[in-house]
Chain A
Amino acid sequence: MKIRTVNYMLRQGITGLWRNKNMSLASIGSVAAALVILGLVIILVLNINNVADLAQMQFDTIQVYLKEDISQGQIAEIGDSILRINDVSNIEFESKEQALLNMKERWGDKGYLLDTLEENPLPNSYIIYLNSLDRADFVVVELSKIDGIDEIKYYKEIIDNMLRIASFIRTIGLALIMILVLIAMFIISNTIKLALNARKQEINIMKYVGATNWFIRWPFILEGVVLGLLGAVIALAITYYGYSYAYNAIARKFTVVFSAYLMPVSEMMNTTVVMFAVLGSGVGAIGSIVSLRKHLKV
């Protein structure tokens, strides 16, 4: 295909888009709506997965916080009792001072915030390594029988729950997106039908003069793709600003701890840009192809 031809087709496509402004807007809007919902689902699912991943790093351990008012001797005793439990392979003591240092390190350049604390709020703790992850539930039951333990930090359940929520959101979201995508395709195919009608005479002449079928079809497919891409751009803008806003709001309100668990905006957008572009143009192309099959006898 010659460049001139490509130009011609793009021009035809854009003209068609302009000719049916209202339908074009409806098409763009429906694509944008579908993709915004998709963006929302992506944000939720990716973030939940992200949190789950971070938590999973601590998955093979159980951490027990010790009560504040116990002596060194008692601490050692608790350690012994823990080691006696079957399936515990090793334990590691983390003093409250060490815990504070570790936290500072995790917070990175925001670590200085912790210097303002008047007293160390973190408890002494044991980190318990297991022989096998499957035994975690049993070990937790045994741990709860030991005196002097304030809290058992046990991530398996939390992670399971988060993954369950993520997959639930994914399922519901995908169903919703499917419906919206179908609606968008339907609207686009109607827009293309109007464009076809507007150019009926032209197409008739083109056929008699010997235009190839693809020469006739391409402008309409391009029109559909452009509609889809414009919808994608709008959705992208909404998702980007929406997520940035939420990200910053969360960081402000809940301090950095929370936002550390969120996917950074740029990383988020890397995923969505590609997805939106592919889906937007795909929806547009398929919408117009459906219309061409039904209404254009070449």
Chain B
Amino acid sequence: MIEMINVSKAYPKGVQALTNINFKIEKGDFVFLVGPSGAGKSTFLKLLLKEEDPTTGTIYVGDKDVTKLSNRKIPYLRRTIGVVFQDFRLLPNKTVFENVAFAMEIIEASSKEIRRQVPMILGMVGLSDRASQYPHQLSGGERQRVSIARAIVNNPAVLIADEPTGNLDPDTAWEIMKVLRQINRRGTTVLMATHAKDIVDIMQQRVIALEKGRVVRDQQRGAYGYED
């Protein structure tokens, strides 16, 4: 599903962000990506979305070699990957429904599909009764659920979550984890970069630990393993 083979990334200024990364994530996996700040997690995610190209190595997302993808094909790669950010990135002047529908509009889904799909996804993340509200009327957890709904509304094969609980209190964070787990059970591969030790420890999922741009640990049913 997702595979990196001998991937290294050096930025022009001479920063070696990633060195010789090798791993494989199967379809339906739930994977935590952990490591201290500056370990290369952001670069890692950027490579998957082809925001950056690796200096060397090969990356597969689905059956496509991302490194060989032409720029014109990037949008179609990104349609197979949903992204959730720490800061939600909702559009403040659109309602919950419109924020989610937006993701469908820009891939030119029909309004019939939108009217069918959006309420279903909002139901999945438990926001059916919030559809007509604006982001500022929602709590942090609700906002993050909207952003998750937006990320999965086009049925991507992979969901990338970049510290999705970073701005949330522990209880709310667990709400979000439940939603992510549920999405994962439906067959979506979930890759979550996080600093939340207790979440990683309790969830007992696969953990890939990065340090100074290298994979230092890749463990099925792992723990966070840092004391930070």
Interface of A toward B, CB cutoff 8 Å = 1-2, 4-5, 8, 201-202, 204-213, 215
Tally of A-B Cβ pairs under 8 angstroms? 49
Chain A residues closer than 8 Å to B77, beta-carbon distance: 210
Please indicate which of the listed interface residues B71, B72, B75, B78 has the most CB atoms of chain A within 10 Å of its own CB.
Answer: B75
Q: Is A210 a contact partner of B107 (Cβ separation < 8 A)?
A: yes
Interface members, chain B 145-167 (any A CB < 8 Å): 150, 154
> Which chain A residue has the least Cβ–Cβ distance from B160?
A208
Known A4-B111, A211-B106, A211-B107; judge A201-B89 contact (CB<8 A).
yes
List residues of chain B with CB under 8 Å of any chain A CB: 49, 71-72, 75-79, 83, 89, 91, 102-103, 105-108, 110-111, 150, 154
Determine the distance from Cα of A202 to Cα of B75 in the docked complex, in whole angstroms: 15
Residue of B72, B76, B102 near A210 (CB, 8 A) is B76
Flag if B89 contacts A210 (CB, 8 Å).
Answer: no
Q: Are A213 and B103 in contact (CB under 8 A)?
A: no
Is B83's CB under 8 angstroms from A208's CB? yes
Among candidates B71, B106, B110, residue contacting A209 with C-beta atoms closer than 8 Å = B106
Task: Tell me if A213 and B75 are in contact (CB < 8 A).
Answer: yes
> In the complex, what distance in Å separates the CA atom of A205 from the CA atom of B107?
12
Asked if A5 contacts B78 (CB within 8 A), the reply is no
Interchain CB contact under 8 A, A209 and B108: no
- The residue from A2, A4, A201, A209 contacting B78, defined by CB atoms under 8 A apart: A209
Give the residues in chain B near A2, CB-CB below 8 Å.
108
How far apart sit A208 and B77, CA to CA, in the bound complex (Å)? 10
- Which residues of B sit under 8 angstroms from A208, Cβ to Cβ? 49, 78, 83
* A199 smallest CB distance to B (angstroms): 9
Q: Roughly how many angstroms separate A206 CA and B72 CA in the complex, as a whole number?
A: 15
A-chain residues with CB within 8 Å of residue B110 when the two chains form the complex? 4
> Contact at A209–B103, with CB atoms within 8 Å?
yes
Note all chain B residues with C-beta closer than 8 A to A206: 106
Q: A4-B110, A210-B76, A213-B75 are in contact. Are A205 and B102 (CB under 8 A)?
A: yes
A210 lies within 8 A of B79 (CB) = yes
Chain A residues within an 8 Å CB radius of B154: 209-210
Q: List 12 A-B contacts (CB under 8 A).
A: A2-B108, A4-B111, A5-B108, A8-B105, A201-B91, A205-B150, A208-B78, A210-B76, A210-B106, A210-B154, A211-B75, A213-B75
Set of chain A residues within 8 Å of B76, measured between Cβ atoms = 210
The interface residues of chain A lying within 8 Å CB-to-CB of B71 are 213
Q: Which listed residue, B75, B91, B111, touches A212 by the CB 8 Å rule?
A: B75
Complexed CA–CA distance, A213 and B73 (Å): 10
- Which residues of the partner chain B approach A201 to less than 8 Å between Cβ atoms? 89, 91
- Among B49, B76, B78, find the residue whose CB has the most chain A CB atoms closer than 10 A: B78
A205 touches B91 (CB 8 A): yes
Q: Which residues of B contact A210 (CB under 8 A)?
A: 75-79, 106-107, 154
Assuming A5-B108, A202-B91, A204-B89, is B72 touching A213 (CB within 8 A)?
yes
In the complex, what residue of chain B is closest to A209 when comparing beta carbons? Answer: B103
List 18 other contacts, CB 8 Å, given A205-B89, A205-B102, A209-B103.
Answer: A4-B111, A8-B105, A201-B89, A202-B91, A205-B150, A207-B78, A208-B78, A209-B79, A210-B75, A210-B77, A210-B78, A210-B79, A211-B75, A211-B106, A212-B72, A215-B75, A215-B106, A215-B108
